Amino acid sequence: MRFISAAECLTVVSHPLAFEAVEAAFIAVASAQSTLFPVLIGHGSETSSRFTVKSATQSVTTPLTGLKIGTYWPNNSAKGLPNHNSYIMLLNDETGELETVLEGGKVNAYRTAAADAVAAKYLARPDATRLAIFGAGHQAFYEVDALLEILPIAHVYIVNRDQTRAESLRQHLLNKGIDARLSDAETACKAADIIVTATGSRSPLFQAEWVKPGTHVASMGSDAQGKQELPAELFNQARLFADLPEQSRTIGEFQHLATQFAAKDTPVNAMGDVILGKTPGRSNRDEITVFDSSGIALQDLFIAAAIVNALDSF
C-alpha cells in the first residue's frame, strides 16, 4: 500500500491539473459505466465534529474504484490544526486491495475550486469581470484563485462576517493586482457577474431580487441536509445545474426545491451532459444560471489518479 502525504501531493497538484481531472469526472458521471454510492455522514463524540464518506467506481477511462473520507473538526483551529481534512483511498479494481492513500486536505480544496471553475467555463458569461464571494475562509482563497484562471475577473466583492478573514482575502487579491473590497451582500450581488458562496450556512445569504440578469451563481458549501446558501426564490428565475442532480436534491442546494417557491420537479441538469453537448449550457447573455456542487467521489478519484501519475512521471 502506498501512502502519499499532503506535502508530497502539493509538489504536483495545481489548478490546471485539478481542472482536467474534474472535467473528466463530470463526463464520467454522465456515463452508465459509472456508479456513485450513497453518501455516509457521521460525527465524532462531539456532534459538531463530522465526517463524510463518498465512494464510487467507473470504467469510462482506466477503471477507478475508491472512496474519500472528509473530516470537519471545528475545534482543531484552537489546537493549531486544520479544521478540514480528507483522505482519498484508491482500491485495486481487480482485487479490491487498498492500493493508495492520499492525504488530501489541500487536494480537496483544489478539487472543490476546480468544480466551480469548470462549471463557470460553461455557464458564466465569458466576459464576466465582477465576482462576489461569500465566505473568506480557507476554501474561498482557492475558489477565487481558480476562477481567476478561467475568467477575466478584475473586481472582487468579499462578503464575510469575520472582518479579519475578509481583509486577509482582500490582501491576497490585491497582491495579484485585483481590485478587491469588503462589501455588504446587497451591494456585492447587484454588482456581480458571478456570485460564489463558500460557507456552511443554513439560511440564504442574499435575496433573489439582488441577482441581476446574466449572473452565474455557484453554491459550493451545501453538502448536508439542512444546509442552504441560496434563496429558493432564485430557482424559478434560473436554469439549474449540478455535479450530480440526484445528490444535489438530497444533500445539496437543490434539496430546497420542494418549497412554496420552486417545484420539486424543476429540471436540474448534469454538468457532464453540458460538457458532452447533450444539454445546452448558457443560452443567452441575460440568462441566470445556478450551479450546485455537493461534491462527488469521482472527482476525488480522478484527481488522486492524476496526482499519482504526475508523481510517477518525475
When computed from its CA atoms, the radius of gyration of the chain, rounded to whole angstroms, is: 19
Residues contacting 154, CB < 8 A, separation 6+: 129, 130, 178, 179
The whole-model pTM stands at 0.94
Structure confidence at residue 86 (pLDDT): 94
- List the end-to-end C-alpha distance of the chain, in Å, as a whole number: 20
> How far is the C-alpha of 205 from the C-alpha of 51, rounded, in Å?
24
The fold of the 2-107+298-312 domain, in CATH, is ornithine cyclodeaminase, domain 1 (3.30.1780)
Output the nine-digit C-alpha cell for 60.
469510462
> How far is the C-alpha of 289 from the C-alpha of 302, rounded, in Å?
26
Q: Strands (DSSP E) along the chain, which ranges?
A: 2-4, 34-36, 40-43, 50-58, 64-72, 84-91, 98-103, 130-134, 155-159, 179-182, 194-197, 216-219, 238-242, 268-270, 288-292
Q: Which residues of 214-253 are buried (b: 16+ CB within 10 A; e: fewer)?
A: bbbbbbbbbbbeebbbbbbbbbebbbbbbbbbebbbebbb
- Residue 68 falls in the annotated catalytic set: yes
> Start-end ranges of CATH 3.30.1780.10 in the chain?
2-107+298-312
Per-position pLDDT tens, the chain of length 314: 999 999 999 999 999 999 999 999 999 999 999 999 998 999 999 999 999 999 999 999 999 999 999 999 999 989 999 888 999 999 999 999 999 999 988 999 999 999 999 999 999 999 999 999 999 998 999 999 999 999 999 999 999 999 999 999 999 999 999 999 999 999 999 999 999 999 989 999 999 999 999 999 999 999 888 999 999 999 989 999 999 999 999 999 999 987 766 666 789 999 999 999 999 999 999 999 999 999 999 999 999 999 999 999 97
> Start-end ranges of CATH 3.40.50.720 in the chain?
116-295
For 116-295, give the CATH class: alpha beta
Q: Catalytic pick from 54, 68, 106, 227?
A: 68
Please give the full DSSP string across 239-295, using - where no structure is assigned.
EEEESSHHHHTTTSGGGGGSSSSS-TT--EEEHHHHHTTSS----STT-EEEEE---
Output the nine-digit C-alpha cell for 285.
447573455
Residues contacting 192, CB < 8 A, separation 6+: 130, 131, 132, 157, 212, 215
Residue with cell 476525488: 300
Angle (CA) 249 56 29, round 5°: 60
CA separation, residue 240 to residues 24, 123, 279 (Å): 21, 10, 12
Residue with cell 472528509: 70
Q: Are 104 and 86 in contact (CB under 8 A)?
A: yes
Helices H, strands E: what count in the chain? 9, 15
Strand partners, 90: 66, 100
**Which H or E run contains 313?**
none
Spatial CA neighbour of 157 closest among 135, 177, 131, 178:
131
